[in-house]
Amino acid sequence: MSILLDQSNRVLVMGVTGNYGKFFVTDSGGYGTTVVAGVSPGRGGGDVDGVPVFESAHAACNATSADTAMVFVPPHLVRAAAIEAIEAGCKLVVATADEMPVRDTIEIRAAARANGARLVGPNSPGIISPGKAKMGFMPSFCFMRGPMGVISRSGSLSYEGSKRLTVAGIGQTTVIGIGGDPIKGTTAAEALALFHADPETKAVMYLGEIGGTEEAAVAEYAARKDAKPVAALIVGKTAPPGKKMGHAAALVGSKADSHAAKTKMLAKSGVYVCKGLSDLVPQAHNALAAAS
Amino acid sequence: MSILLDQSNRVLVMGVTGNYGKFFVTDSGGYGTTVVAGVSPGRGGGDVDGVPVFESAHAACNATSADTAMVFVPPHLVRAAAIEAIEAGCKLVVATADEMPVRDTIEIRAAARANGARLVGPNSPGIISPGKAKMGFMPSFCFMRGPMGVISRSGSLSYEGSKRLTVAGIGQTTVIGIGGDPIKGTTAAEALALFHADPETKAVMYLGEIGGTEEAAVAEYAARKDAKPVAALIVGKTAPPGKKMGHAAALVGSKADSHAAKTKMLAKSGVYVCKGLSDLVPQAHNALAAAS
Amino acid sequence: MMILEHEAKALLRSVGVAVPRGTLIKPGTRAPRVRDYPVALKAQVRSGGRGKQGGVIRVDNAKALKAAAKKLFATSFGDEKPEVLLADPWLPFDRELYLSVTIDAAAEGYVVLYSPKGGIDIEDGPKPARYPIGAPWKFRTHELRAVLETVEKDFQLRERVISLAQRLVETAAARDCHTIEINPLVRLKDGELMALDAKIVYDDWAHYRNADILAQRDGERRRADKLLRASLEMGHMYVKLDGDIGLISGGAGLTMGAMDTIHQLGGKPACFLDASPGPTSTRGYKPAFALLDGDPDVKVILVSVFGGGTHMNRVANAMKANMATRKSKKPVVFKLDGTYVEQVPGIFDTFGAKNHVSLEAAVKEAIKLAKRA
Amino acid sequence: MMILEHEAKALLRSVGVAVPRGTLIKPGTRAPRVRDYPVALKAQVRSGGRGKQGGVIRVDNAKALKAAAKKLFATSFGDEKPEVLLADPWLPFDRELYLSVTIDAAAEGYVVLYSPKGGIDIEDGPKPARYPIGAPWKFRTHELRAVLETVEKDFQLRERVISLAQRLVETAAARDCHTIEINPLVRLKDGELMALDAKIVYDDWAHYRNADILAQRDGERRRADKLLRASLEMGHMYVKLDGDIGLISGGAGLTMGAMDTIHQLGGKPACFLDASPGPTSTRGYKPAFALLDGDPDVKVILVSVFGGGTHMNRVANAMKANMATRKSKKPVVFKLDGTYVEQVPGIFDTFGAKNHVSLEAAVKEAIKLAKRA
């Protein structure tokens, strides 16, 4: 099994006629993702690589029973497209866009909550269940099917981390990019709960950063008696305090946000903390060993 | 019968320890209104004229089964108090305050809709079911029980109009002040629907003004085949266009807002239109005569 | 309250809406900083219908600008002379649209209005398309898109209008505006939308959470003369009319009812004056008397109050105190009714005043006195 | 981005929050318009901990003001010298509180934080009370009241705090602020609350709907030197560090991962430079190279990119074009991986570059080259 995504998701692409939308249809379709529809207001009636284009998410969902949406529109339009997909009935919406105002994400989350839907992202690589389906632009060769759930706050780091696991023979149930923004459609805590419930996931690799409070949730989960083993890499050891490191959430504001505080807290909760990228595979092995 | 209010409403007074709140407890309690509780944060535990004071609407409703709220707090706090009462379970909330930002009223209406509650007001005299109960400061001697429903956009005009009816021997089922603001908790259309459903109400007197779109709803109702007879007085014949006459909604913006357009539209729909205050009683008689 | 076009445009610019880069011209400015001609020279007034009254002049050079400015500063629009002019660049566009956000009782909140043909004749054209929203956070681009689908065929333009409408709704809510109207909204040659004109009506009562509104209210008072200012500062609402019976009343509805009754019985009201928002004390009514006593057009004062929460014993005592210190000899007619009205005759007796029982009787008396004056 | 205290106070004043009537003092001002002493003279800087670093001086007369201003203008706070000072009246107050609104993942949106004891030691005290709101329209005064019931015993003060908190939440949403922090919020002798200090962090990405944010971003770029400005205008994110290995990377996480790897293997990163927001073209990377080539502290450049939507053939071609026109002789080490990485070696061969397969190998090479330089 996997979490959130497999071949059974019927995917609708919001903004399907843009460059990203078109590439996604071809790339993820080739990977196995079931892409059933696209939306592009004013351009309904056509198709993109065989996928029919509709005027609205409502029309698309009615015609194709789409239940999952991938959003590829400019940052200032993501809120509109995501909420449209949610209110048309999509239960999972993935938004990879960065440069989104955080208030927009808050509004999407509120709409998702009101409609029993889930947002993944924004400012995230998306989500991939290796060998089944992907929602995003991850380089497919970095991933393979296996027992480890991966949660990442950063896109490129999730590629780097997953490739290291794959090369070492450790496959993944699902790799979920929760994104680098301070408000997330799906938090680390929520992703952990999903992996916890997934029987195929034996252990979890968490790729985190300085700043924010996600890591506290990881420690909290790891401290549970019934927790699956968790390994974690926290980047930003060499980042100076008080400076924003790209991600809006990657800023050491208070002492609890620092690399030292986070790794200490995680280790204390029984997390296999990686000393750096080079230590990722050994700690993943440790976590998996603890699972058996 | 009557609409919305009688002795069975269990009334909670928000802001009960202020001057208005205290006067209301005594005055309306003396009239017959069932006042069961008051709220004044920081002053819970005491009482006002025998009515217990609570820290919150939630506590008050739990303890007294209050289902109706009268709001007497300064204009900038009305939104908070009204929404608190609605979310504590009150199904009818009356707010008489003027000087309220219209966005606040919009938010109260949204909360009322989400909770199946009704707001009356703001900027309204409130509501009185003569001989039963009153929510507001209406001078009781102006009203008496009888067959006419009264809807008014203005407070003092509702007193003047009702007193004329009472002196002429025409009693009222309920007199509802819908208020002079552009966004109303209860619109004329909604008040008409309530009177339409009330078997004791034989005819309706509508006291309107220039500006706004309420009168269109009155005409629409009157044009129905099953409508009860409606009489109406529209004030503001001598008001110049483009000037706000006190009420934020009393401004002739487009041609449809003018006195001439409104009276013409009402007369065309079969409304007994009063030529002025002096013509109020004759038209009320006409409406009642048509009802039998 | 309505703000001036250039103020409305500044607000729109602050929320990322494209507006022309105009130049403000004050009276007496010798060399306005206008570099590129032609410009649209626009009288900054609050009254509507400015365009049809010649309040916008196309100007092609500095000399013509001077002449046009002189002319506009000398023109009255309604009862208003412009205090400032706006010189906007004259921009070529290929479409004129209408877009506004306002509040609407039936919508239970905000509503978006759009017409694919904007301009000064908007009132005479077909009704704009209407998207009712309610609470501002209920705005949905896909709902507006569905409303506009048959109204605006150009889908690229439509998408721009939808984004702009969302911005306007958020701005109306955030800045407590009753109305934000852009007419015309134009499409420039490059496809971008721009607000060539803008009308914003603020919510007066949000002054405590919006310093702009407070400043506008203060400006309104500053522009008023001394007597009116005192009344406005008491919270009174006043509109001057062209008659001779000065009316001090309470409540907008009854005030208009009294005005209409004066008219019907053959008199002419001198004003709308709703004194109910002020304190029902000597202090509260004093500026109202001063204002009407100081107005040479007013021949008689009619006090018509019907109070619920306003107690008539207090009002009667306030009248007594005011009459005692008042210097004007203009006659005053009273019609008080409402809570504790039974105490009024006793109080009135102490200073020889009479309280009329019916509005009609009071109005007839006032008309008689006005004719006699 | 954080704005300066006086800018934050101006924003708060515009939404009706009481702030001191302060005076801005620019360098070289001979006679600041300060009338009443004492005043608190405050360095306007973005770095935290200003109070503990002597950035606020009580001044009792004009002469002392001059001396204190000179001193503050000459002081560095973090890496920042004040460009302007704020002289606020020194106000007597009887309580110091802490109130902020910020965004919080667990709250799914906004959260209100309150502490009955504010001031510069807030971080060391007990954690503030926390009211999670989520979407701004879900704020409820009665919910905040319940949170504060046991925290703030003075109920009159509590009610004022609740009203203020609501204003701050509405403002944070309306103006796209990540954080509005008032510390200290003080109670004056008359019971009124006033923001003696204020910190506002804007949401950078809302620049298209908030002209203030756009202006702040432009100011940030204006303050940067020419080389950095070009990189910022490309959308790059840059933080200078004290090492010698210049890092051009993509994605915040991997950039930090590379920085940490450099450190772990014995080197020192010269910067955080995330070039992923810019275009993956020659144009996109050019300013990044120019910036690091122009920095004398940088001895070697490490390009580490792992792309998904960013295609490696395009990046490799961009590197080729940049290397061809580049004048600097600083060595460059490459580690590209991701979509279409299989095309990289072919492209790199054409200009004699090598693509490292592992980050560790690339970092070791960079450290070696840095030591040699």
Question: Domain ends where: A120, A154, A182?
Answer: A120
Residue C351 contacts A, CB cutoff 8 Å: no
Three-state helix/strand/coil letters over D111-145: EEEEECCCCCCHHHCCCCEEEEEECHHHCCHHHHH
- Say if residue D234 is in the same domain as residue D365: yes
Query: Where residue C73 falls among pLDDT bands split at 50, 70, 90?
Result: very high
Task: Give, in order, the Cα–Cα distances in Å from A5 to each of A34, A70, B121.
Answer: 10, 12, 50
Q: What are A207's two structure tokens? A: 């790729």
Q: How many domains does chain A have?
A: 2
Please report, for the domain that includes residue D81, its CATH number. Answer: 3.30.1490.20
Whole-angstrom Cα distance, residue B207 to residue B158? 7
Whole-angstrom Cα distance, residue A142 to residue D338? 8
Domain assignment present for A237: yes
Dihedral angle over CA of D131, D134, D138, D142, nearest 10: -10
- Say if residue B52 is in the same domain as residue B99: yes
Domain assignment present for C32: yes
Asked whether the beta carbons of B2 and B10 are under 8 A apart, the reply is: no
Q: Tens digits of per-residue pLDDT, C80-97?
A: 899 999 999 999 999 999
Q: Tens digits of per-residue pLDDT, C189-239?
A: 999 999 999 999 999 999 999 999 999 999 999 999 999 999 999 999 999
Residue B87 contacts D, CB cutoff 8 Å: yes
Which of D250, C8, C371 lies closest to A246 in space, CA to CA? D250
- Say if residue D239 is in the same domain as residue D299: yes
* Confidence (pLDDT) at D343: 97
Whole-angstrom Cα distance, residue B192 to residue B204? 8
Q: Is D240 exposed, middle or buried (0-12, 13-18, 19+ CB in 10 A)?
A: middle
**What Rg, from alpha-carbon coordinates, does chain C have?**
25
Three-state DSSP at B62 gives helix
Nearest to D155 among B41, B57, B84 (CB): B41
Q: Tens digits of per-residue pLDDT, A113-146?
A: 999 999 999 999 999 999 999 999 999 999 999 9
In chain D, the residue whose alpha carbon lies closest to the alpha carbon of C166 is D209
> What is the residue type of A160?
E
Name chain D contacts of C208, Cβ cutoff 8 Å: 16
Domain assignment present for D215: no
What is the pLDDT averaged over residues C21-34? 87
- pLDDT score of D144 more than 80: yes
* Confidence (pLDDT) at C134: 97
Domain assignment present for C66: yes
- Say if residue A191 is in the same domain as residue A61: no
Residue C170 contacts D, CB cutoff 8 Å: yes
Task: Give, in order, the Cα–Cα distances in Å from C198 to each of C73, C201, D235.
Answer: 20, 10, 33
List the catalytic residue out of A196, A247, A259, A285. A247
Residue C163 contacts A, CB cutoff 8 Å: yes
- Say if residue C84 is in the same domain as residue C106: no
Domain assignment present for A42: yes
* Confidence (pLDDT) at C4: 97
Name chain D contacts of B107, Cβ cutoff 8 Å: 137
Query: Where residue C140 falls among pLDDT bands split at 50, 70, 90?
Result: very high
Task: Give, in order, the Cα–Cα distances in Å from B187 to each of B151, B191, B280, C16, C192.
Answer: 10, 6, 22, 35, 40
Residue B84 contacts D, CB cutoff 8 Å: yes
Domain assignment present for A211: yes
Q: How many CB pairs under 8 A join A and C?
A: 32
* Confidence (pLDDT) at B249: 66
Q: How many domains does chain C have?
A: 3
- Say if residue B157 is in the same domain as residue B74: no
- pLDDT score of C53 more than 90: no
In this predicted structure, which of A172-181, A260-269, B147-156, C118-127 has the lowest mean pLDDT? C118-127
Q: Tens digits of per-residue pLDDT, D294-324?
A: 999 999 999 999 999 899 999 999 999 999 9
- Say if residue D347 is in the same domain as residue D251: yes
* Confidence (pLDDT) at C184: 95
Would you give per-residue pLDDT tens digits along chain B (292 residues)?
A: 899 999 999 999 999 999 999 999 999 999 999 999 999 999 999 999 999 999 999 999 999 999 999 999 999 999 999 999 999 999 999 999 989 999 999 999 999 999 999 999 999 999 999 999 999 999 999 999 999 999 999 999 999 999 999 999 999 999 999 998 999 999 999 999 999 999 999 999 999 999 888 899 999 999 999 999 999 999 999 998 878 887 766 666 677 788 999 999 999 999 999 999 999 999 999 999 999 7
- Say if residue B280 is in the same domain as residue B178: yes
- Say if residue A99 is in the same domain as residue A225: no
Name chain C contacts of A104, Cβ cutoff 8 Å: none
- pLDDT score of D125 more than 90: no
What is the pLDDT averaged over residues D127-137? 96
Query: Where residue A253 falls among pLDDT bands split at 50, 70, 90?
Result: low
- Say if residue A115 is in the same domain as residue A142: no
* Confidence (pLDDT) at B38: 98
What is the pLDDT averaged over residues D115-135? 91
- Say if residue B252 is in the same domain as residue B199: yes
Q: Rounded to 5, what percent of chain A is helix, strand, coil?
A: 40, 20, 40
- Say if residue C238 is in the same domain as residue C338: yes
Domain assignment present for D242: yes
Name chain A contacts of D237, Cβ cutoff 8 Å: 244-246
Residue D266's contacts (CB-CB under 8 Å, 6 or more residues apart) are D367
- Say if residue B69 is in the same domain as residue B167: no
Whole-angstrom Cα distance, residue D324 to residue D331? 13
Three-state DSSP at C100 gives strand
For chain A, give the percent of residues with pLDDT over 90. 91
Task: Give, in order, the Cα–Cα distances in Å from A195 to each of A38, A116, C273, D151.
Answer: 29, 19, 70, 38
What is the pLDDT averaged over residues D76-86? 91
- Say if residue C238 is in the same domain as residue C352: yes
- Say if residue C64 is in the same domain as residue C144: no
Q: Catalytic annotation on B247? A: yes
Say how far residue C75 (Cα) sits from the centre of its chain: 20
- Say if residue A151 is in the same domain as residue A282: yes
Domain assignment present for C185: yes
Domain assignment present for C324: yes
Domain assignment present for A127: no
**What Rg, from alpha-carbon coordinates, does chain A have?**
18
Please report, for the domain that includes residue D124, its CATH number. Answer: 3.30.470.20
Residue D150 contacts B, CB cutoff 8 Å: no
Handedness of CA C335, C341, C345, C350 (dihedral sign): negative
| Strand B126-129, strand B51-54: pairing | unpaired
- Say if residue A284 is in the same domain as residue A162: yes
Domain assignment present for B127: no
Question: Which residue range(s) make up the domain with D197?
Answer: 93-206
Q: Is C89 exposed, middle or buried (0-12, 13-18, 19+ CB in 10 A)?
A: middle
Please report, for the domain that includes residue D233, its CATH number. Answer: 3.40.50.261
- Say if residue B285 is in the same domain as residue B144: yes
Domain assignment present for B83: yes
D296 upstream amide cis, omega within 30 of 0: no
> What is the residue type of A168?
A
* Confidence (pLDDT) at B248: 67
Question: Which residue range(s) make up the domain with A106?
Answer: 10-120
Please report, for the domain that includes residue A245, its CATH number. Answer: 3.40.50.261
* Confidence (pLDDT) at A213: 84
List the catalytic residue out of B58, B76, B196, B247. B247
DSSP state of C355: B
| Secondary element (H or E) of residue B272 | strand B272-273
In chain B, the residue whose alpha carbon lies closest to the alpha carbon of D150 is B42
Model pTM above 0.80: yes
| Strand D245-249, strand D193-195: pairing | unpaired
Whole-angstrom Cα distance, residue D119 to residue D127? 13
| Secondary element (H or E) of residue A126 | strand A126-129
- Say if residue D117 is in the same domain as residue D156: yes
- Say if residue D234 is in the same domain as residue D112: no
| Strand B47-48, strand B118-120: pairing | unpaired
Whole-angstrom Cα distance, residue D301 to residue D370? 9
Task: Give, in order, the Cα–Cα distances in Å from B253 to each of A135, B92, B106, B210, B244.
Answer: 52, 32, 21, 9, 9
Domain assignment present for A5: no
Residue entry with tokens 């935290």: D48
DSSP state of B119: E
Nearest to B243 among C203, C239, C276 (CB): C239
Q: What are A137's two structure tokens? A: 């632009």
Domain assignment present for B129: no
What's the number of CA atoms in the CB half-sphere (13 Å) around residue B221? 26
Name chain C contacts of B184, Cβ cutoff 8 Å: 105
Whole-angstrom Cα distance, residue C251 to residue C277? 8
Whole-angstrom Cα distance, residue C337 to residue C311? 9
- Say if residue C279 is in the same domain as residue C337: yes
- Say if residue C78 is in the same domain as residue C103: no
* Confidence (pLDDT) at A251: 65
What is the pLDDT averaged over residues C18-44? 91
What is the pLDDT averaged over residues D349-358? 96
- Say if residue C354 is in the same domain as residue C237: yes
* Confidence (pLDDT) at B250: 65
> What is the residue type of A37?
A
Domain assignment present for D308: yes
Q: Tens digits of per-residue pLDDT, C250-265?
A: 999 999 999 999 999 9
Domain assignment present for C11: no
- Say if residue B142 is in the same domain as residue B285: yes
Please report, for the domain that includes residue A85, its CATH number. Answer: 3.40.50.720
